[in-house]
Copies of this chain bind each other. A is one copy, B any other.
């Protein structure tokens, strides 16, 4: 089993990244910072006979890398009570992969997914629609939604004062490690 983190943030070493580091700890994990890549918004060709046209961007390599892992942590700042537009554009493109990617749903169905999300305005309540959205996303894609941490932080570094989120991040690490142990047995 191997772990990837998909970062939707736009700030280096932001609160979301710091909280996610608490989840990762010493584990090996491939980190994909979406902001460093070119990901075009989807154009909806689901109902065209010819299917989706080829898109010249980095999406293909990113989805390849994501699908090569068994545990994927989606880490996003909460912008306007949702995931970043950058992460959303990446996920929107899954509609294309569902049509084109060999075994997309099979690979997703073997994946364990986690959410780490940090916001500045009462994320424990106002982040819940985002959790519910991810639940539907993973459910549709067939992945197993294993857990989420909602952290509070606004200014850089503030997340370190959210003790409950830090503890929950450590618990998430324990859960991931345990499942990796189980998979080895």
A residues whose Cβ falls under 8 Å from a Cβ of B:
9-11, 14, 35, 41-44, 47, 77, 79-86, 88-92, 94-95, 121, 124-126, 128-133, 135-137, 140, 145, 147-148, 155-156, 163-164, 167-168, 171, 174-175
Contacts and interface: CB of A to CB of B under 8 A. Distances in A.
A173 to B, nearest CB: 11
Given A44-B10, A131-B128, A92 B85 contact: yes
Given A44-B14, A44-B77, A85-B89, A125 B132 contact: yes
A79 B42 contact: yes
Which of A35, A90, A125 has most chain B Cβ within 10 Å?
A: A125
A174 B42 CA distance: 34
23 contacts: A10-B41, A35-B43, A41-B86, A42-B79, A44-B77, A79-B88, A79-B91, A80-B92, A80-B140, A81-B140, A82-B133, A85-B89, A85-B90, A88-B88, A89-B89, A121-B136, A121-B140, A125-B135, A126-B136, A129-B136, A130-B133, A133-B133, A163-B174
Identical chains bound together, number: 4
B125 A11 contact: no
A135 B51 CA distance: 34
Contacts of A136: 80-81, 121, 126, 129
A28 B86 CA distance: 33
B147 A124 contact: yes
B10 A42 contact: yes
